[in-house]
Amino acid sequence: MASQKGVMLLDFWASPFGQRVRIALAEKGVEYEHKEENLSSKSELLIKSNQVHKNIPVLIHDCKTVFESLTIVQYIDEVWSDKTPLMPSDPYQRAQARFWADYVDKKVYDCTSRLWKPKEEEKEAAKMEMIEILQLLEVQLGDNKYFGGDTFGLVDVAFVPFTSWFYMFEMIAKLNVEAVAPRIVAWAKRCQERESVAKALSDPKTVYEFICMVMKKVLGQE
């Protein structure tokens, strides 16, 4: 059994990437120290721990650092392998899980950032792309309970934090996720019945208000 001593997470409350790690740690029953970061004034510990990107999340375990959320989640799964696995045992299914988790990483976050574009044609193009992304993920989910079938796993951990953004999608782009991808919304509700998810996810309206504040500063939007 892996040691739970010296486990610390450097994190930020609104980060979907940090939420992934919190969910994985909770699923494994790992006790850890949580350090909330101020991203406008990063701590010396964060800068020292992640000298490459100087960003959260960072997992510190037995004085060793791991960063990038999907890497951290897979590290947690391998280190605490005596607990319920987040990755399937079959090599092909593991490859599929890694692919779709990476797809979420590359597509959902990037497309969301473009929903804030001030030009309507750019915003509309991002909205149409997001609909395609959600519908493709819905096809991948199918009629399964989770993306891993009956088992909550890597793709669920990777994607579910972004469900807190669905309210934001509707407010800034008039994108009603339930109308275009109802199975994704049903899946999100099932995931939120898990204690690990319910405790990690931020309130959608609070996230929206925070992102509005950030975008106002970055883009000068009212």
Confidence tier at 113 by pLDDT (50, 70, 90): confident
Half-sphere exposure of 156 (CA within 13 A, CB side): 30
> For the residues 204-215, what does the mean pLDDT come to?
91
Token pair, residue 208, equals 């929206």
Whether 156 contacts 146, CB under 8 Å: yes
Reported as a single tens digit per residue, the pLDDT across 169-183 is: 999 999 999 999 999
Task: Say what the pLDDT of residue 219 is.
Answer: 62
Amino acid identity of residue 55, one-letter, is N
| H or E segment and range at residue 190 | helix 182-191
Reported as a single tens digit per residue, the pLDDT across 72-107 is: 999 999 999 999 899 999 999 999 999 999 999 999
b/e map of 145-157 (b: 16 or more CB within 10 Å)?
ebbbeeebbbbbb
- 200: Cβ contacts below 8 Å, ≥ 6 apart: 19, 22, 23, 26, 161
| Residue ranges matching CATH 3.40.30.10 in the chain | 7-79
| Residue ranges matching CATH 1.20.1050.10 in the chain | 91-219
Give the span between the Cα atoms of 63 and 45, in whole angstroms.
12
Reported as a single tens digit per residue, the pLDDT across 126-137 is: 999 999 999 999
Answer whether residue 220 shows pLDDT above 70: no
User: Model's pTM, two decimal places?
Assistant: 0.93
Rounded (10°) CA dihedral 133, 68, 157, 41? -100
Reported as a single tens digit per residue, the pLDDT across 23-66 is: 999 999 999 999 999 988 989 999 999 888 889 999 999 999 99
Task: Say what the pLDDT of residue 19 is.
Answer: 98
Task: Tell me which CATH code domain 7-79 carries.
Answer: 3.40.30.10
Task: Give the Cβ contact number of residue 14 at 10 Å.
Answer: 16
Quick one: fold of 91-219?
Glutathione S-transferase Yfyf (Class Pi); Chain A, domain 2 (1.20.1050)
